[in-house]
Structure 1
Amino acid sequence: MTQTTKAYRVTAFDRPPELKEMPLEPLDADQVRVKIHASALNFADTLMCTGTYQDTPTPPFTLGLELAGEVVALGKDVTALKIGQRVAVFSGQGGLATYGNFAASRCVPIPDGLGYDAAAALQIAYGTSHMALSYKARLMPGERLVVTGAAGGVGLTAVEIGKRMGAEVIAIARGADKLAVAQKAGADYLIDAEADDIRDQIKALGGADVVYDAVSGDLYEACFRATNPDGRILLIGFAGGGLPQIKPNHMLVKNITVIGFYWGAYLGFKAEPFLASLSQLFDWAARGEITPHISNRVPLSQVDDAMDMIRSRQATGKVIVTP
């Protein structure tokens, strides 16, 4: 059995991460050992290097939030998985390595027809949008979905999944080039984020039934004012820099629900809908109904370069690190 792993380790927040050869810890009873074939990078990985991400572990730890690979060993209490099974893992850490030990409860089987790269790439971005729209907002076919930051990594998946769920999608993004990207992903209507009449444009299209807001600030206000009675607003992030001004009196009068959503937390307190959502996404991806955009593939030996791509926002899609 494999006894060592190469791993990209944070040993202290005041020192850069290092690629190290290190011994593997013994398996806990509820863990599996995974030979890692692909790990997808996220901006959160760059924040974890300096301890500024909200879920940063205490050093030392191995970077890499989402991965896919092959089960090579089982803890004594694991019965739902088997040796040789292909799995994806939202691990929170440990993905940037050749091998790792992970809780069996975090492993989702990868269906035939779906590659390791795609399984690693779609977990966080697609998982966030699918669970937010289906489980939290209960988006229904024929409803009108407004997506802010619609050309960003997460916003673009909301456009794609919203269309897959039968919604009419209004994409808000900055500039013609970004709007063209959202249109290619399936957006029915396009609104430039620089426009000064966003509320009026949404209202002219019939108003919003669901708003997927990853930007906040002034965009939140415009979308709120254009939300139909009984509408739902998902707070996904605050990329615009400002926090939304929640107005409970207006929420009450219009019967609007404002929903906070943090995808990664669900594994800690309600794993069933989280894992069911990933299984649904893997099924769609295996059938070619959704396709994660992978812009770069980098070997583990060049992981420093891959991290620089994320920091400088050079990548236009997911960056995959392959051992």
Structure 2
Amino acid sequence: MGELRNRVVQVRYFGDPDGLEVVDAPLPTAGRGEVRVHVLASSVVFTDVVIRRHLYPQTISLKPPFVLGYDVVGEIDQLGHDVTGFKLGDRVADMTVVGSNAAYRTLRADEVTRVPGGVDAAEAAALILSWTTACQLLHRAAHVQRGQHVLVHGAAGAVGQALLTLGRMAGLELWGTARGDHAALVRELGGTPIDYQREDYTKVVPGGFDVVFDGIGEDGCRRSLAALKRGGMLCAYGYTAGVQAHRSLFSILTWSARLYVLGWLSRDRRVYFYSINLMRARHPAWFREDLARLFELLAARAIQPRVAERISFAEVAEAHRRLEAGGLEGKLVLCPDLPSHHQRERELTV
């Protein structure tokens, strides 16, 4: 076996994708209470774009160079002192916010979630942020009940797809806003499609929806509130939704503050502002429970997250450009062991 080599995707400077670089890095060593994992998969998500632009409050104090990577699925190859309950070769996952677009990294053993054997690593990585968000929105925030009328905005996106799938499993009556060309996808996932460019979703259900999940919010969620019945709940999520329209951190924070004021003023309708990081900080056990349950569903093939493409280190900058362009129906997942397109094409011609 050759000498282990670590490579990482780091932000060299804030701004466009050209500020990303793939470099060799020191091989980390598992400290007390930690495990080191050989990374099998790490999603490339739009929040990475926001972090790269220096617009994400949770990472605003970071200074380049630092390593991107919001989530990780890896195989334990080193155990730190005082780690029990794990062995070499176990597969685990975590949501890390940064640091996981790497070949190797360390994780706190008491924060990781086991990944069942036989589960595809890229599909497992695709669950961590989007599907855990959807699961917690449905069951930790909205506490949905069978038969409720529920509207999902951005239904063709990663969280939207998860909300429709898990909502159907919970026995909900579902509608999803999306572009007209995504109508078939919304139907396939169990929702009634609403072309937001042509239809007025506030008039679809007489009396209004029981719950609206709004991860878009360009209009300050006003129309989503108008689509609710009295006593209904708006679950607002997705800080990154404002980034396309607001190019500075100050304007994004101002936009977010207006949403909170609007929620405070909405007396006959409830508003819940969801953050996966805040929820995890308050209830860390919930995150592990929910992710473990999703992994069980994935192992049983009861759910199947869409992976748009598995990419190599060489393709990360282009992946960021594709995320900014929009229109993807699945996750882009970095698989560090995957050769680049050029290498794969060369191998095919040999």
User: What is the TM-score normalised by the length of structure 1?
Assistant: 0.89
- Secondary structure of 1:58's match? coil
Kept after mapping to 1: 8 A contact 2:156/2:329: no
Change (3 A) 1:52 1:34: same
Kept after mapping to 2: 8 A contact 1:3/1:23: no
Q: Counterpart of 2:84? A: 79
- Secondary structure of 1:161's match? helix
Moved more, 154-163 or 32-41: 154-163
The RMSD of aligned alpha carbons is 2.4
- Secondary structure of 2:129's match? helix
Aligned length: 316
Q: How far apart are residue 89 of structure 1 and its match? A: 1.7
Kept after mapping to 1: 8 A contact 2:29/2:36: no
Change (3 A) 1:3 1:265: farther
Q: Counterpart of 1:29? A: 32
- Secondary structure of 2:160's match? helix
Counterpart residue type for residue 46 of structure 1: V
Q: How far apart are residue 8 of structure 1 and its match? A: 1.2
Q: Counterpart of 1:257? A: 270
Unaligned 5+ segments in structure 1 are none
Q: Distance in 2 between matches of 1:272 and 1:66?
A: 17
Q: Residue by residue, what CA displacement relative to the aligned partner does 1:120-154 show, whole Å, maximum 9, x if unpaired?
A: 11111111111111111101111111111212222
Q: Distance in 2 between matches of 1:302 and 1:246?
A: 41
Q: Residue by residue, what CA displacement relative to the aligned partner does 1:197-252 show, whole Å, maximum 9, x if unpaired?
A: 4322222xx53111111122448333323323332210113637565472656x43
Kept after mapping to 1: 8 A contact 2:28/2:36: no
Unaligned 5+ segments in structure 2 are 246-254, 337-350
Counterpart residue type for residue 155 of structure 2: A
Q: Distance in 2 between matches of 1:51 and 1:64?
A: 15
Counterpart residue type for residue 178 of structure 1: H
Change (3 A) 1:237 1:202: farther
Kept after mapping to 1: 8 A contact 2:77/2:88: yes
After the TM superposition, which residues 95-244 of structure 1 pair with which residues of structure 2 at under 5 Å, given as runs? 95-174=100-179, 176-187=180-191, 189-195=192-198, 197-203=200-206, 207-218=208-219, 220-237=221-238, 239=241, 244=259
Change (3 A) 1:321 1:248: closer
Kept after mapping to 2: 8 A contact 1:293/1:318: yes
Q: Counterpart of 2:339? A: none
Moved more, 266-275 or 129-138: 266-275
Identity %, equivalent residues = 28
Q: Distance in 2 between matches of 1:94 and 1:219?
A: 32
Kept after mapping to 2: 8 A contact 1:113/1:287: no
Mapped pair 1:13 → 2:14: yes
